[in-house]
Chain A
Amino acid sequence: MATVTLKVNGKELTVDCAPRTLLVEALREHLRLTGTHVGCDTSQCGACVVHVDGRSVKSCTMLAVEADGAALTTIEGMAQGGELHPMQAAFKEHHGLQCGFCTPGMIMSSTDLCARSATTPTEGEVRHWLEGNLCRCTGYHNIVKAVRAGADGMRGGK
């Protein structure tokens, strides 16, 4: 058994788990944060993306023990005070989701992209960045629109 200390969505938490436990398992099964999804077993789909110390990471690719001491944000931590994060709001406005299963990973991945770049990413940049995130429902058209609008929103623009 390993004890992992994490700061998840601003809260200090500890998880007692087997050393082989993946971060996504720690989140979903130990902490019951089920917004982070599992869509594959090969680190290809991006349904499990969370932020570890501010950077997007596929949580199925990392052991929980590797995240010991880190600050994590999951989809559950994005909205503040009942207000959707600008990226969440943009996904809703631009119909960037259908079944919603890929959506948490998409939001976590795109907010990282937009936080990294000083300007609104181009369509090509968004498409390139999202290569690690699969969506089977939307055809990406509206996701790309949403991410660019979300980038504007994150900068306080419209």
Chain B
Amino acid sequence: MTTTGIGASVRRKEDRRFLLGKGQYTDDLVLADQTYAMFVRSPHAAAVITAIDTAAALAAPDVLAVLTGADVAADGLGGIPCGWLVKSKDGSNMVEPPHPALAQGKVRHVGDPVAMVIATSKAAAKAAAGLVDVDYDVLPAAARLDDAVADGAPRVWDEAPGNVCFDWHIGDPALTDAAFAQAARVIEIDVTNNRVAPNAMEPRAANGHYETATDHYTLYTTSQNPHLTRLLLGAFTLKVSEHKLRVVAPDVGGGFGSKIFHYAEELLVLWASRRVGRPVKWTSDRSEAFLTDAHGRDHHSVAKLAVDASGKFLGLRVHTYANMGAYLSTFAPAVPTYLYATLLSGPYDFPAIYAEVKAIFTNTVAVDAYRGAGRPEASYLLERLVDKAARELGRDPVELRRQNLIQPDQFPYQTQVALQYDIGDYQATLDLALAAIDHAGFPARRAEAAARGKLRGLGISTYIEACGIAPSALVGALGARAGLYEAANVRVHPTGGVTVFTGTHSHGQGHETTFAQLICERLGVSIDNVEVVHGDTDRIPFGMGTYGSRSLAVGGSAIVKALDKIVDKGKKIAAHLLEANVADVEFKDGQYRVVGTDRVKAFGEVAFAAYVPHNYPIETVEPGLEESAFYDPKNFTFPGGTHLVEVEIDPETGVVEVVDVAIADDVGVIVNPMIVDGQAHGGLAQGIGQALLEEAVYDAEGQLLTGSYMSYCMPRAADLPNFKVGNHVTACTHNPLGVKGVGEVGAIGCPPAVINAVLDALAPVGVTDMSMPATPEKVWRAIQAAKKGA
């Protein structure tokens, strides 16, 4: 291992600009002649728009335009498309309602945009937005999942009876019935996965600039995948050819999924710029973000586990309702289906599984992928169910898991729900985590806490996830309307610098460092000589962006493929310079060497010769040293592991304190351990946040009750402990780096461990169920109810 290559905790190259306050986030950018947009948004969850009077707003000072759904329709803008088609079990397509950029005729959730005001200052735009007069006929709303599926519920869309978007299934029902028929015991659970708001600290922003002279559009936007945004703008919404469109996602202040999707505002600022002839910028404020960023989770499931007399899992049956919100966001249909139900086997050997998923429209903002996307929902359901089984069977939850984990010699392991896990060692991560938290010492700690009047509990979750999303053929067969490969271009400069252009996007993940380490390792150049460029469709060949922990597994693999081409071409040049046969030249430690001799050419000399080809195999080799590659993976990658959480509950107040967290993950080969640990920490915080604090709550009328940081409880420093993070590596078998992905492990593995810990702590007082978030009030009430029942 070198000090900067694979396996080194290199300090991040990108940090300096952030630490100096010199990051360039979308809202930091002010273009010449900049104007500002403000949206008029629906205050109602469901209503008919009977009239919009824009005259007063138009007459207000410094206002350039006031645009409505009628203008959108007149200009022929396309609706916001959905990128994934799911079919119901009867073979019919999902109900795919239109999603106009500005509401037309009806509004369907609080925050649905109705009009757009453009002015020369933010303050003027805001003042004028208040003057737009909209008349609504308020309709009854179907706001919450349970309300929307009730008999006689109001319809969000006329074309979706029962508010059903699709009714989908996976697995083998007959096999599962047979498994249940043989069961010694059946354990049942009813769980809700709470709706959360992603809350990247940087609110979304978009700045659109149309240049009349060149008929060219530039969009600066807070995006995790600028090429996809360009593709959707080009083909569906703005409807101009991609060569006329540049999408730039500069520094982006976190995404967690919420910045993957193509949002209406991105289209609208470009279109408005064309209309007013000046650049138009919109920056969300936090309250607007709560109303308009896609939310995450929001499942209600009932599941049954069949076990034999020894505790071996025989079968699993799951029925899930998934809330889609009012419109279908870019990836939304994939989340409760292919990203959720395919993970229901978890790390366990299940002979039979059958799952049904009904996707439901409600009068709420769209729900889409949020850190983990589907996999946290699967893991939460399964790990709560397994814990419940352990309690009902009188088994130790660790031992019941150990008995049912897929064994190392069972890989590759074909699940009953479509996936084939390539490799893993779940026993090893289980043992590591148990040791890290001192599992054996827990009874003593519990007794000590009890002496202080506290209830202490230990919770476990063993989980698996699928990441590195692709392969294209597979996701295409599953309904994706795009391919999911990744692109890279590696440009070696004449005097030794290297620029890497990647189609992934970094919004905190540290690609500028991790990817540079790949170059150092392979070409032997110093890390200061490598620059990684991302986030600009004019500079990067192509890309599918960053989500689902795909950057290194898919994007890094594309870079490796490009590096292979660089090394190969260099070999031909070196062979010429060394007057040797290409077959006799090897590349190692930054040098081309004639095998078995001391005749060498440094990589830098070869690169220089490529650009100054005086002595050069010009007949057979082109000058220059730059290569591109696209990489389409063979399979998903499958990180997995064990998360252990210890909590202490004050029975007087219901406050749950997380006192210890120990996790052991297998995320494949680790390029930068410091960054990997940091990603795990961030995921854990969001996982603990979901389990204990966070929930996006709509009331029955569809008003968002948690629309600011005053009412939506974000995890703060004092809410969290330090984390013990361990790793056990099994290398992914099908990508050249052996990497799997880490960004989501905390959000997937941790929430069930927290709730299992809470229930473990509360078991002595007779509490048997707890939903997320386990707020003090809920915990306190559960304790009181149990006391009364006793």
A interface residues (Cβ-Cβ under 8 A, vs B)? 18, 28-29, 32-42, 44-45, 47, 74-76, 78-79, 84, 88, 91-93, 95, 97-104, 107, 123, 126-128, 130-131, 133-144
- The answer to whether A104 touches B685 (Cβ under 8 A) is no
Expressed in whole angstroms, the minimum distance between the Cβ of A147 and any Cβ of chain B is 9
11 A-B residue pairings within 8 Å (CB atoms): A35-B23, A37-B202, A40-B286, A93-B11, A98-B508, A99-B507, A100-B19, A101-B23, A127-B718, A130-B718, A134-B709
Q: Kindly specify which of B61-69, B252-260, B479-487 makes contact with the partner chain.
A: B252-260
B723 interface residue (CB < 8 Å to A) = yes
- The answer to whether A79 touches B684 (Cβ under 8 A) is no
Return chain B residues, CB-CB under 8 Å to A128.
717-718
If the complex has contacts A18-B123, A84-B19, A142-B678, are A92 and B507 also in contact, measured as CB distance less than 8 A?
no
If the complex has contacts A131-B718, A144-B717, are A99 and B254 also in contact, measured as CB distance less than 8 A?
yes
If the complex has contacts A98-B678, A130-B716, are A136 and B199 also in contact, measured as CB distance less than 8 A?
yes
4 further A-B pairs in the complex, CB-CB below 8 A; given A98-B678, A135-B717 = A42-B710, A79-B19, A139-B681, A139-B683
- The answer to whether A74 touches B286 (Cβ under 8 A) is no
Task: Please give me the residue from chain A that is nearest to B689 by CB atom.
Answer: A136
- The answer to whether A99 touches B20 (Cβ under 8 A) is no
Which B6-32 residues sit within 8 Å CB-CB of chain A? 11-12, 14-25, 27-28, 30
Docked CA distance A151–B76 (Å):
59
Task: Please give me the residue from chain B that is nearest to A21 by CB atom.
Answer: B123
B581 interface residue (CB < 8 Å to A) = no
Return chain B residues, CB-CB under 8 Å to A38.
27, 203, 285
- The answer to whether B202 touches A39 (Cβ under 8 A) is yes
Task: Please give me the residue from chain B that is nearest to A102 by CB atom.
Answer: B201
Expressed in whole angstroms, the minimum distance between the Cβ of A109 and any Cβ of chain B is 11
B502 interface residue (CB < 8 Å to A) = no
B interface residues (Cβ-Cβ under 8 A, vs A)? 11-12, 14-25, 27-28, 30, 123, 199-203, 251-254, 256, 285-287, 507-510, 674-675, 677-679, 681-686, 708-710, 714, 716-718, 720, 722-723, 746
Docked CA distance A103–B27 (Å):
16
Expressed in whole angstroms, the minimum distance between the Cβ of B504 and any Cβ of chain A is 15
Expressed in whole angstroms, the minimum distance between the Cβ of A32 and any Cβ of chain B is 8
**Given B19, B200, B254, B685, which contacts A91 in the complex, CB threshold below 8 Å?**
B19
- The answer to whether A100 touches B509 (Cβ under 8 A) is no
Return chain B residues, CB-CB under 8 Å to A37.
25, 201-202, 253
Q: Max chain A CB contacts within 10 Å: which of B21, B23, B123, B678?
A: B21
If the complex has contacts A42-B710, A135-B201, are A100 and B720 also in contact, measured as CB distance less than 8 A?
no
Docked CA distance A127–B685 (Å):
14
Return chain A residues, CB-CB under 8 Å to B201.
37, 39, 45, 47, 99, 101-102, 134-137
Expressed in whole angstroms, the minimum distance between the Cβ of B13 and any Cβ of chain A is 10
Expressed in whole angstroms, the minimum distance between the Cβ of A137 and any Cβ of chain B is 5
Return chain B residues, CB-CB under 8 Å to A95.
11-12, 674-675, 677-678
Return chain A residues, CB-CB under 8 Å to B28.
28, 34
- The answer to whether B18 touches A103 (Cβ under 8 A) is yes
Expressed in whole angstroms, the minimum distance between the Cβ of A113 and any Cβ of chain B is 12
Return chain B residues, CB-CB under 8 Å to A126.
717
Docked CA distance A141–B675 (Å):
13
Q: Max chain B CB contacts within 10 Å: which of A37, A39, A40, A137?
A: A137
Q: Max chain A CB contacts within 10 Å: which of B23, B201, B285, B508?
A: B201
Expressed in whole angstroms, the minimum distance between the Cβ of A105 and any Cβ of chain B is 9
Expressed in whole angstroms, the minimum distance between the Cβ of B370 and any Cβ of chain A is 12
Task: Please give me the residue from chain A that is nearest to B200 by CB atom.
Answer: A136
Docked CA distance A97–B254 (Å):
11
Return chain B residues, CB-CB under 8 Å to A36.
21
- The answer to whether B708 touches A140 (Cβ under 8 A) is no
Docked CA distance A135–B200 (Å):
9
If the complex has contacts A37-B202, A39-B286, A44-B709, are A91 and B15 also in contact, measured as CB distance less than 8 A?
yes
**Given B20, B254, B508, B677, which contacts A75 in the complex, CB threshold below 8 Å?**
B20
If the complex has contacts A41-B285, A137-B682, A144-B722, are A92 and B19 also in contact, measured as CB distance less than 8 A?
yes
- The answer to whether A98 touches B16 (Cβ under 8 A) is no
Q: Max chain A CB contacts within 10 Å: which of B17, B22, B252, B717?
A: B717
- The answer to whether B684 touches A92 (Cβ under 8 A) is no
Task: Please give me the residue from chain B that is nearest to A84 by CB atom.
Answer: B19
- The answer to whether A101 touches B15 (Cβ under 8 A) is no
Docked CA distance A135–B11 (Å):
20
If the complex has contacts A128-B718, A140-B685, A144-B722, are A100 and B253 also in contact, measured as CB distance less than 8 A?
yes
- The answer to whether B286 touches A143 (Cβ under 8 A) is no
If the complex has contacts A45-B709, A140-B685, are A133 and B19 also in contact, measured as CB distance less than 8 A?
no
Docked CA distance A79–B16 (Å):
11
- The answer to whether A131 touches B15 (Cβ under 8 A) is no
Q: Max chain A CB contacts within 10 Å: which of B123, B681, B683?
A: B681
- The answer to whether A100 touches B286 (Cβ under 8 A) is no
Docked CA distance A48–B718 (Å):
20
Docked CA distance A28–B746 (Å):
35
Return chain A residues, CB-CB under 8 Å to B18.
97, 99-100, 103
Docked CA distance A143–B717 (Å):
9
Task: Please give me the residue from chain A that is nearest to B722 by CB atom.
Answer: A141
Return chain A residues, CB-CB under 8 Å to B720.
127, 139-141
- The answer to whether A139 touches B723 (Cβ under 8 A) is yes
**Given B199, B287, B509, which contacts A98 in the complex, CB threshold below 8 Å?**
B509
- The answer to whether B708 touches A101 (Cβ under 8 A) is no
Docked CA distance A62–B300 (Å):
44
Docked CA distance A52–B201 (Å):
23
**Given A76, A130, A143, which contacts B21 in the complex, CB threshold below 8 Å?**
A76
Docked CA distance A34–B30 (Å):
11
If the complex has contacts A37-B25, A92-B19, are A99 and B716 also in contact, measured as CB distance less than 8 A?
no
Expressed in whole angstroms, the minimum distance between the Cβ of B199 and any Cβ of chain A is 6
Docked CA distance A136–B679 (Å):
11
If the complex has contacts A41-B708, A95-B675, are A100 and B251 also in contact, measured as CB distance less than 8 A?
yes
Docked CA distance A123–B721 (Å):
10
Return chain A residues, CB-CB under 8 Å to B685.
136, 138-140
Task: Please give me the residue from chain A that is nearest to B688 by CB atom.
Answer: A139
Return chain B residues, CB-CB under 8 Å to A47.
201
- The answer to whether B286 touches A41 (Cβ under 8 A) is yes
Q: Max chain B CB contacts within 10 Å: which of A18, A44, A136, A139?
A: A139
- The answer to whether A101 touches B20 (Cβ under 8 A) is no
If the complex has contacts A92-B15, A99-B508, A139-B682, are A134 and B714 also in contact, measured as CB distance less than 8 A?
yes
Docked CA distance A115–B360 (Å):
54
Docked CA distance A45–B201 (Å):
8
Docked CA distance A98–B19 (Å):
11
Task: Please give me the residue from chain B that is nearest to A79 by CB atom.
Answer: B20
- The answer to whether B686 touches A74 (Cβ under 8 A) is no
Return chain B residues, CB-CB under 8 Å to A84.
16, 19-20
- The answer to whether B675 touches A104 (Cβ under 8 A) is no
Docked CA distance A95–B682 (Å):
12
Return chain A residues, CB-CB under 8 Å to B25.
34, 37, 101
Task: Please give me the residue from chain B that is nearest to A76 by CB atom.
Answer: B21
Expressed in whole angstroms, the minimum distance between the Cβ of B336 and any Cβ of chain A is 24
Task: Please give me the residue from chain A that is nearest to B203 by CB atom.
Answer: A39
Task: Please give me the residue from chain B that is nearest to A88 by CB atom.
Answer: B19
Expressed in whole angstroms, the minimum distance between the Cβ of B32 and any Cβ of chain A is 14
Return chain A residues, CB-CB under 8 Å to B254.
98-99, 101, 136-137
If the complex has contacts A41-B708, A131-B718, are A138 and B202 also in contact, measured as CB distance less than 8 A?
no
Docked CA distance A123–B678 (Å):
18
Docked CA distance A7–B681 (Å):
39
Expressed in whole angstroms, the minimum distance between the Cβ of B236 and any Cβ of chain A is 29
Return chain A residues, CB-CB under 8 Å to B717.
126-128, 130-131, 133, 135, 140, 143-144
Expressed in whole angstroms, the minimum distance between the Cβ of A101 and any Cβ of chain B is 3
Give the 6 A-B CB pairs with smallest separation, nearest first: A35-B21, A100-B18, A101-B253, A99-B508, A139-B681, A75-B21
- The answer to whether A100 touches B20 (Cβ under 8 A) is no
Task: Please give me the residue from chain A that is nearest to B678 by CB atom.
Answer: A95
**Given B15, B677, B679, which contacts A97 in the complex, CB threshold below 8 Å?**
B15
